[in-house]
């Protein structure tokens, strides 16, 4: 069993699966654009894909969508930063202990 939290688009796990073909790969990526790429890049039963992030409690947070990449740079929005909702996406947060 191999965990990758923040899988990006899955290219590392795709290569790693050649060396560990009997392993189960658990891939976590919260950002919707990257998660879409993961689902096409990592087909097959050995890849378990989850669109979520981990934190110290369950909940939902806002993540900045910079529109430039498939990732969430400067991602977590705090109450001190005023942003437009059109540039944010909601992300599920789970705890590792309860996963």
pLDDT in tens, 4-55: 888 777 888 888 888 998 899 898 888 887 888 888 888 778 888 998 888 8
Task: Between 33 and 95, name the one with better pLDDT.
Answer: 95
Q: Which structure tokens are listed for 3?
A: 């965990």
Residues contacting residue 4 through CB under 8 Å, at least 6 positions apart: 12, 13, 25, 26, 27, 28
Which pLDDT belongs to residue 19? Answer: 92
Which pLDDT belongs to residue 67? Answer: 63
Q: What is the pTM of this model?
A: 0.72
pLDDT in tens, 68-86: 555 555 455 454 444 555 5
Between the alpha carbon of residue 93 and those of residues 17, 46, 71, the distances in Å are 27, 24, 17
Q: What is the residue whose two structure tokens read 């993961």?
A: 38
Which pLDDT belongs to residue 77? Answer: 47
Sign of CA dihedral 34, 67, 58, 5: positive
Q: Give the residue ranges of DSSP H helices in 30-82.
A: 32-41
Per DSSP (E only), the strands in 9-97 are 25-28, 47-50, 53-54, 59-64, 88-94
- Mean pLDDT value of segment 91-95: 86
């Amino acid at each position: 069993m191999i965990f990758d939290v923040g899988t990006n688009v899955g290219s590392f796990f795709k290569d790693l699966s050649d060396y560990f073909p009997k392993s189960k790969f658990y891939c976590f990526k919260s950002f919707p654009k990257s998660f879409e790429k993961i689902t096409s890049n990592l087909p097959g039963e050995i890849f378990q894909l989850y669109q979520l992030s981990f934190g110290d409690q369950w909940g939902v947070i806002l993540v900045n969508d910079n529109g430039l990449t498939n990732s969430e740079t400067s991602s977590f929005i705090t109450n001190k930063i005023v942003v437009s909702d059109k540039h944010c996406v909601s992300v599920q947060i789970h705890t590792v202990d309860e996963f």
